[in-house]
Amino acid sequence: MQNSKLVVAMLGLSLLTTQLNVRAADQGGCDKGDAAGMAAIGGLFGALAGNAGNKGEAAAIGAIVGALGCIAFNSQTVQAKTNDQVLGEISKGGSNAIQSPTVVTYLPATNAPNYSPGATVKIDSTITVASKPGDATDIKERYTIIDPSNQPKKDFEKAVATTGGQFNNSLSFDLPKGMPKGLYKVKTQLMINGVVARESDLPMRVI
């Protein structure tokens, strides 16, 4: 009987996550009622998936899945310096000293240490990459929200540029009203031509 409940509950969580991701993409996020309601429904599915000894923990995990499904991301990139300017600053040899795309700086930071449900989280990154003129330089930044149990729950990837230079990249999203409290983190990864070049873990405490 417990195994049957587990299968039904996990299918429910999977369907819930898919539905929320589609809805958030179509509408730019869920409204406040949706977010709180989906967190509650996720908690119910999670409770069903748990056994008698860990129903509370399973319900909390389900609530996190439901809440995070409503998050919609907004992003923006502004170029601060050209690749030629960066090359001139880092090396007297200019482009001849660069054999492959090189990360000069990667400085991501959040706008606050603590957040209440419903608050806006903003992550600003200063990205400086030097590349040889004419070389392919595909720069992207990936963000992954990780829950208090250290499990990745939602991610987003942003194209930054196709050439070297210095860029101010920003990502913002509103925490759902039904977001469970706890110490989350956002893992940021700077991708150069599909390879992780730098990464950072930014704490995000929901109080």
The single residue listed with the structure tokens 């609530």 is 63
Q: Where are the domains of the chain?
A: 2-68, 74-206
Nearest alpha-carbon partner for 65 in 4, 10, 121: 10
Separation of alpha carbons 71 and 76, rounded Å: 17
Nearest alpha-carbon partner for 63 in 50, 72, 51: 50
**Residue 187, helix vs strand vs coil:** strand
Question: In this structure, are residues 80 and 167 in contact, taking their beta carbons and an 8 Å threshold?
Answer: yes
Question: In this structure, are residues 44 and 93 in contact, taking their beta carbons and an 8 Å threshold?
Answer: no
- The pLDDT score that the predictor gives to residue 77 is 97
Domain 74-206: give its CATH superfamily: Macroglobulin (MG2) domain (2.60.40.1930)
Average pLDDT, integer, range 83-91? 88
Look at 91-100, 111-120, 135-144, 177-186 and tell me which has the smallest mean pLDDT. 91-100
* 15 sits in which H/E element: helix 2-27
Around Cβ 46, how many Cβ atoms within 10 Å?
Answer: 26
**Residue 100, helix vs strand vs coil:** coil
Confidence of residue 63 (pLDDT cuts 50, 70, 90): low
Nearest alpha-carbon partner for 157 in 127, 122, 187, 177: 187
